Amino acid sequence: MTQSQTLPAFPARSYDFVEYVPAKNWIDGQWVDAASGQTIPVENPRHGKALSKVVLSGAEDVDRAAKAAKKAFESWRRVPIKERAQVFFKLKELMERDLEELSWLVTHENGKIIEEARASVLKGIECVEFGASLPNAAAGERLEVSRGVTCTQDHEPLGVVAGITPFNFPIMVPLWMMPQAIVGGNAFILKPSEQVPLGSLKLAQLLEEAGLPKGVFNVVHGGVDAVNALCDHEDIQAMAFVGSTKVARLVYARGAAAGKSMLCLGGAKNHLIVVPDADVKLTAENVVASFTGCAGQRCMAASVLVAVGEVDHVIDAIKKRASELTVGKELGPVINKASEERMGRYVDEAEKQGAKVLVDGRGKRGAPEGYWFAPTVLDGVTEDMPAWKDEIFGPVLSIVRVKTVDEAIALENRCPYGNASSVYTTSGAVAEYVTGRVEAGMVGVNIGVPVPREPFGFGGWNHSKFGHGNITGMDGYRFWTRPRKITSKWELQQDSNWMS
Ligand code: NAD
């Protein structure tokens, strides 16, 4: 019996508190402790107490994982891509089988309400599906480029690669990276957020059950030390990062300095532009779902509503809808005490600076324990306020008033982030004008969370991303592989030219 078979099923089927096994590293098909012997608690944000603990790794653990991955890579790269993809067909089936278990696990370690957790796992499954489909999309090219001379191009794996992920989507974000990387022939090391390490235990176990050879997927837990060791390790060829802009910038620079290909997705401050002809019901429901979903802890969440001209009728509907949400049932907790306090400070400060608190989420809780912040709407926010400038990463919507669509676009463009932006209008001309001018990589029309689903790639612009291309879709596959061009000739041509 392998050690992974001893990992028990996650038992919860409700929000009631349960404990779970400690999160150890998964290296070369074994659960192992970190060399430091150190652990930190993993909290259930709804209950505000530890459901597990996680090991803290450093350079020694990363080296151990890199060595195992390097060894596994040598045979994995020789497995035909169609066979590599079979593991992901199987993983999809296993994730569907264990959908409820995976979803409750996300709910308990991250805090999302169960419907949101389920949606996030389903989106992860969609990424697995894309990975499984790669043999149909990733065939190489061949062309006779000159008389008797043929050029072929195919995509070779890089070797050992790594991914670093944030707390807000414990299953989904690792699956933005790992299917393309592993189907592409690489061996992968995942460093999940130390706040939500448990989802990756299940992913490791399911990949083993799906038939992935040991050492092709490894998990190293921890924080800054583990990330720095990954950036510095000479056997790791490429790294993707998803997290805050501050850390994305640091990791991008450190990994690139060590010669790695880097793609680092950062934070966001998404602007939603509402014009007077917007459909009131659609806009209100959509804006509220965008800024309160996952308790506002999404990089695609609405953060600023740019109100163009007279749109008080829409704002009234947003205010009503946001006030109606039941905290604890329709809105989950925020990740930790520090987040709850940070949100409070932003609202207090905006109010002090003259913003009007239309809906006040301060002090409203979904349960006596845990970390909570209810939907909050601030009106009259101005550009000098931190509530406009900073990523609050909670269910707080800042309304900035402008007179024209051009002013709205200019405001959005002054925001250094560039993840997502949306426009709410019933006019095709206005929609086209705005979508062609906002500084964002993912733009919505009457959609507050404009996630480009597979096969389209996910990725922002400006301070929301360092590196080239998207993280999902074919860009992801290209990031994790390198094109090899082979030019051949098999006989001397009579009518020679410069290439013959
Ligand atoms: P974070 O930046 O604090 O942590 C992300 C990862 O980096 C974690 O694995 C963490 O252990 C590690 N880390 C933290 N500090 C570090 C440091 N100083 N040096 C090296 N590594 C470090 O992010 P978070 O709080 O876990 O997640 C929320 C953030 O992620 C938000 O800013 C959100 O917008 C962003 N996010 C972005 C996207 C996107 O697609 N652009 C998607 C999801 C989340």
Q: What is the CATH number of the domain that holds 85?
A: 3.40.605.10
Residue 160 and residue 460 in contact, taking contact as beta carbons nearer than 8 Å: no
Where is 341: in which H helix or E strand? helix 337-352
CATH number at residue 296: 3.40.309.10
Q: What is the C-alpha separation between 254 and 435, in angstroms, rounded?
A: 34
Residues 6+ apart with CB under 8 A from 406: none
* Alpha-carbon span 234 to 424, nearest angstrom: 48
**CA distances (Å), origin 216, targets 101, 161, 499:** 24, 10, 42
| Span from the CA of 239 to the centroid of ligand 1 (angstroms) | 14
Judge if 261 and 278 occupy the same domain: no
Spatial separation of the C-alpha atoms in residues 166 and 280, rounded to whole Å: 34
Q: Say if residue 254 is in the same domain as residue 306.
A: no
Residue 457 located in a structural domain: no
266 CA from centroid of ligand 1 (Å) = 7
Domain ranges, residue 474:
25-266+464-484
For ligand 1, mutation pick of 127, 172, 193 (most atoms within 8 Å of CB): 193
Mutate to test the pocket of ligand 1, among 244, 337, 396, 421 (most ligand atoms within 8 A of CB): 244
| DSSP per-residue string spanning 212-253 | PPTTSEEE---SHHHHHHHHH-TTEEEEEEES-HHHHHHHHH
My answer on whether 257 and 276 are in the same domain is: no
Q: Is residue 17 part of a domain?
A: no
How many residues comprise the chain? Answer: 500
120 and 107 fall within a common domain: yes
Domains contained in the chain, number: 2
Quick one: which atom of ligand 1 is closest to the CA of 419?
41
Global pTM exceeds 0.95: yes
Q: By the 8 A CB rule, do 135 and 164 touch? A: no
Residue 458 domain flag: no
Beta bridge partners of 143: 151
Does residue 489 belong to any structural domain of this protein? Answer: no
Is there a domain that residue 157 lies in? yes
User: Distance between CA 85 and CA 91 in Å, rounded?
Assistant: 10
Pairing label, strands 25-27, 30-32? antiparallel
Nearest CA to ligand 1 atom 21: 224
- Ligand 1 centre and the CA of 131: distance in Å? 24
* Tens digit of each residue's pLDDT, the chain (500 residues): 344 457 999 999 999 999 999 999 999 999 999 999 999 999 999 999 999 999 999 999 999 999 999 999 999 999 999 999 999 999 999 999 999 999 999 999 999 999 999 999 999 999 999 999 999 999 989 999 988 899 999 999 999 999 999 999 999 999 999 999 999 999 999 999 999 999 999 999 999 999 999 999 999 999 999 999 999 999 999 999 999 999 999 999 999 999 999 999 999 999 999 999 999 999 999 999 999 999 999 999 999 999 999 999 999 999 999 999 999 999 999 999 999 999 999 999 999 999 999 999 999 999 999 999 999 999 999 999 999 999 999 999 999 999 999 999 999 999 999 999 999 999 999 999 999 999 999 999 999 999 999 999 999 999 999 999 999 999 999 999 999 999 999 988 777 666 65
Catalytic residues: 299
Give the residue carrying structure tokens 């500084």.
Answer: 439
18 in a structural domain: no
User: Is the backbone of residue 278 left (phi > 0), alpha (psi -120 to 50) or beta?
Assistant: beta
Nearest residue by C-alpha to atom 11 in ligand 1: 223
